Amino acid sequence: MMKHYPEQTAVHIALVGAGPGPLELLTLRALRRIEAAEVVVYDRLVGAEILAIIPVGAARFDVGKRCGEPSPSQQEINALLLALARTGKRVVRLKGGDPLIFGRGGEEALYLAHHGFRAELVPGITAALGCAASTAIPLTHRGLARSVTLVTGHLQGEESFNGWRTLVGEGQTLVCYMGLEQAGKIEAGLLGAGADGALPVALIVAGCSEHERVIRCRLGGLARAAEALRGATPVLIILGEVVALRDELDQLLTGLESRVA
């Protein structure tokens, strides 16, 4: 049965993807919405360069979630967005990456719609795409990977999760968001579902930033590698044969640079 929403008002609120951090990876539409904003509600992963372009007179609300620290619940964020939308001001809800990929943008858009407000959804470059390109890891590659699966490491009801087999397959790249704390469960789950313990893995710390680091390991050593990074944030995990292409590409480029020199 089709749901009936209250009569919607004009758009006063935009759910904007800020991309993986650098200002240069922000879309033009996102830039225009931020520059015109009267109120900005932003997350922790929004890059400092992007926060710097928020208009001086705009009200700011930091609702970022920080591990181990008090932070607003999703219900509180929803209520704040609704209250701000009712003011009639131009509101930007600014999220790292893309608002509809592990950003709860869908939840917020639905909440606003149920209360009569139509939010504009402005896409952004999600972490998987930005970090893979920044670290020279092709997520797909002919003959190696014909598909990409994006998953969250914050498994809901980990003990009962039975979808590991769907994440194991030849010719597939797996990208895990927010998976550092659950690395042990991810390793055990994939190995238990038949994944090869020698599968190449890359843990990308602070991807697309000047502090970017890449730690390489195999699936069988994922938990140990993650333990060594405890406390680091943000961390994106890429698993698949394509990870090995990074070394090959680096070697070829290094060889070319030495010839030019």
Q: How far is CA 37 from CA 89, 99, 114, 148, 178, in A?
A: 8, 17, 23, 35, 29
- Write down the pLDDT at residue 1: 45
Q: And the tokens for 191?
A: 């190995």
- Write down the pLDDT at residue 255: 64
pLDDT band at 104 (very low <50, low <70, confident <90, very high): very high
- Write down the pLDDT at residue 161: 67
CATH domain 128-248 topology:
3.30.950
pLDDT digits (tens, 9 = 90+) for 133-192: 999 999 999 999 999 999 998 765 445 567 888 888 888 999 999 999 999 999 999 999
* Mean pLDDT score of the chain: 90
For residue 60, is pLDDT > 80?
A: yes
43 is catalytic: yes
Domain boundaries, the chain: 13-125, 128-248
Residue type for 3, please? K
Q: Where is pLDDT greater, at 7 or 49?
A: 49
Which stretch of 11-15, 126-130, 192-196 has the lowest confidence by average pLDDT?
A: 11-15
For residue 128, is pLDDT > 70?
A: yes
Give the whole-number percent of the chain exceeding pLDDT 90: 77
- Write down the pLDDT at residue 258: 56
Q: What is the pTM of this model?
A: 0.89
CATH domain 13-125 topology:
Cobalt-precorrin-4 Transmethylase; domain 1 (3.40.1010)
* Mean pLDDT for the stretch of residues 211-235: 95
Q: Which helix (H) or strand (E) holds 128?
A: helix 127-134
Query: Catalytic pick from 65, 89, 185, 196?
Result: 65
For residue 260, is pLDDT > 60?
A: no
pLDDT band at 36 (very low <50, low <70, confident <90, very high): very high
Two domains, one topology: 13-125 and 128-248:
no
- DSSP-derived letter for residue 11 is -
Give the span between the Cα atoms of 231 and 181, in whole angstroms.
Answer: 9
